[in-house]
A and B are shown apart, each in its own frame.
Chain A
Amino acid sequence: GAGVSQSPSNKVTEKGKDVELRCDPISGHTALYWYRQSLGQGLEFLIYFQGNSAPDKSGLPSDRFSAERTGGSVSTLTIQRTQQEDSAVYLCASSLVLGGYEQYFGPGTRLTVT
């Protein structure tokens, strides 16, 4: 079956622009997670969704970051007024249910802010 997909695979944007990153989880997976991976920080948790709800947004690096999920499926991570330190690979993962289940990762979106 299809795995987790993400788009775009690469995004180059100018500092100050807004970007939207999309994640399509595995069909039937109720839990969805966003992480980012950068050279200096390793793998950093951003936010998770149970269904369409994100109970804990404290992992988002700043208020320029927001995320939503609709229909219990597709999720969008939006970064407003991008900064160079936002450059990273943004990874999405999904799992069957929340907690204690294997997370399957998508291919990631490589974001470069110039």
Chain B
Amino acid sequence: ELKVEQNPLFLSMQEGKNYTIYCNYSTTSDRLYWYRQDPGKSLESLFVLLSNGAVKQEGRLMASLDTKARLSTLHITAAVHDLSATYFCAVDPDRGSTLGRLYFGRGTQLTVWP
């Protein structure tokens, strides 16, 4: 069974600080997704990473993918309160009968305080 591990699971950080969320996975894949979920809401797509070395940035968030290390990172720069949410990484292993299914990490609950 493919495993996707995120850490940390809980992150409390002060506004203006930087931090990185890590997503490790246990199988070969060159497709990884980051989602954001606000309380009581559904998942909002943040980044789609489709190749080794892919880097994407949107505002204060930057995501990268290293398929050889089976690692993706979500870097937060100069955090602001509006970034408070739960962030999920998800891997698409593209194998056999599970084609298209996403395997999710457990999520990182981010709280940004003044």
Q: A48-B100, A58-B97 are in contact. List 11 more A-B contacts (CB 8 A).
A: A42-B104, A42-B107, A43-B90, A55-B97, A56-B98, A91-B43, A95-B100, A99-B100, A100-B31, A103-B102, A107-B42
Tell whether, in the assembled complex, residue A99 and residue B94 are in contact, meaning their CB atoms are under 8 Å apart.
yes
Is A26 among interface residues, defined by CB-CB distance under 8 A? no
- Within 8 Å by CB of B106, from A42, A100, A108, lies A42
Is A45 among interface residues, defined by CB-CB distance under 8 A? yes
Interface residues in A87-103 by Cβ distance below 8 A to B read 91, 93, 95, 98-100, 102-103
Residues of A bordering B, CB below 8 Å: 31, 33, 35, 42-43, 45, 48, 50, 55-56, 58-59, 91, 93, 95, 98-100, 102-108
Closest CB of chain B to A44's CB: distance in Å? 8
CB-nearest residue of chain A to B88: A43
Residues of B bordering A, CB below 8 Å: 31, 33, 35, 41-45, 48, 50, 88, 90, 92, 94, 97-107
Tell whether, in the assembled complex, residue A104 and residue B92 are in contact, meaning their CB atoms are under 8 Å apart.
no
Tell whether, in the assembled complex, residue B100 and residue A104 are in contact, meaning their CB atoms are under 8 Å apart.
no
Tell whether, in the assembled complex, residue A45 and residue B103 are in contact, meaning their CB atoms are under 8 Å apart.
yes
Between A and B, 25 residue pairs with Cβ closer than 8 Å are A35-B104, A42-B106, A42-B107, A43-B107, A45-B102, A48-B100, A50-B100, A55-B97, A58-B97, A59-B101, A91-B42, A93-B43, A95-B100, A98-B99, A98-B100, A102-B48, A103-B45, A105-B35, A105-B42, A105-B43, A105-B44, A106-B42, A107-B41, A107-B42, A108-B42
Tell whether, in the assembled complex, residue A100 and residue B98 are in contact, meaning their CB atoms are under 8 Å apart.
no
Given contacts A100-B50, A100-B92, contact A33 B100 (CB under 8 A): yes
